[in-house]
Amino acid sequence: MRILVTGGAGFIGSHLIDRLMTEGHEVLCIDNFYTGHKRNLLKWLNHPYFELIRHDITEPISLEVDQIYHLACPASPVHYQYNPVKTIKTNVMGTLNMLGLAKRVKARFFLASTSEVYGDPEQHPQTEEYRGNVNPIGIRSCYDEGKRVAETLAFDYHRQNDVEVRVARIFNTYGPRMLENDGRVVSNFVVQALRGVPLTVYGDGSQTRSFCYVSDLVDGFIRLMNGEHTGPVNLGNPDEYTILQLAQAVQQMVAPDVAIRFEPLPQDDPRRRKPDITKAKTWLGWQPTVPLQDGLRLTVEDFRTRITSPNPDSNPSVNDLTGSPAMLKTF
């Protein structure tokens, strides 16, 4: 099968490509390298069944493919808030372009949506029927509302143009190849612990998250894409941890003597986040299998190979962003 993965040089996208290539598919990867890296795909660059295309999906492209996994979009707050206009353009115009391609070539379309569509949820755990509690004008709305619009577009193309769509709502995911400066809680804690600086917990650490290891998530993607259900389907680990519990777990695993530092809670930071995965279990026969401790060990070892010297500035900043200079201006 000929499969397109947008955002395929990124953290999750590259793991998905590994799986698809291992299964013998012909894979095309589109990425503009705003947050993705060629190093994640080095083993496939000379493979006859793999093609890497540097392209920004806010511009149309013509390809012949059977399936489209649409993952392209900065997914961590430090990246998507740095250029919010570009983020929402990617979610809206980029999704329109990929849905248009799916319509023209009659490809099945997979949308990597997010648990952020639930906002700061008033229902716990979150089911797919919950419509969310999202601030449409907050600093996170370029991503939250952008993904909500992307879902709208997917279902409208499905109803109006008979495009086969699959929609996954992804909860917190972690694992090897996460960016050191992506601002997500797992990478923040691991990088800070490896550098021997205090672990930064926002608020009092009582807010909760659920952490899914990347290989489990990719398995859910493939089951959903090749199944009979449109979705949306929650994909995440229903085991719930407070942020303070996660910090303590990383602390004990990496640097027991490192302190934990508390900082003010960012605007619109969700208080609780936990997926109801009943649909994933029932429709896909899927549930996570990698325990948090095992996944954290693999993640720590990956970061350990990349972090070789102390860095006093442990907090990610836009000055650490990598990518094309054209991506770093206002659009």
3-state secondary structure (DSSP) of residue 73: coil
The rounded distance, in Å, linking the Cα atoms of 75 and 13 is 12
Both tokens assigned to 104: 């023209």
The rounded distance, in Å, linking the Cα atoms of 130 and 118 is 7
Instruction: Tell me if residue 143 is catalytic.
Output: yes
Beta bridge partners of 3: 27, 67
Which segments within the chain are labelled E, that is strand? 2-6, 26-31, 50-54, 67-70, 108-114, 165-170, 173-174, 199-202, 208-210, 212-213, 233-235, 240-242, 260-263
Q: What is the DSSP string of 148-207?
A: HHHHHHHHHHHHHH---EEEEEE--EE-TT--TTS--HHHHHHHHHHHT--EEEETTS--
Amino acid 150 reads A
3-state secondary structure (DSSP) of residue 260: strand
φ/ψ region of 268 (left if φ > 0, alpha if ψ in -120 to 50, else beta) reads: left
Q: Which listed residue (80, 82, 143, 157) is catalytic? A: 143
DSSP strand pairing (240-242 vs 208-210): antiparallel
Q: Are 110 and 69 in contact (CB under 8 A)?
A: yes
The rounded distance, in Å, linking the Cα atoms of 211 and 284 is 19
In the Cβ-directed half-sphere of 234, how many Cα atoms lie within 13 Å?
29
- Residues in the chain, overall count: 331
DSSP strand pairing (165-170 vs 50-54): unpaired
The residues assigned a catalytic role are 143
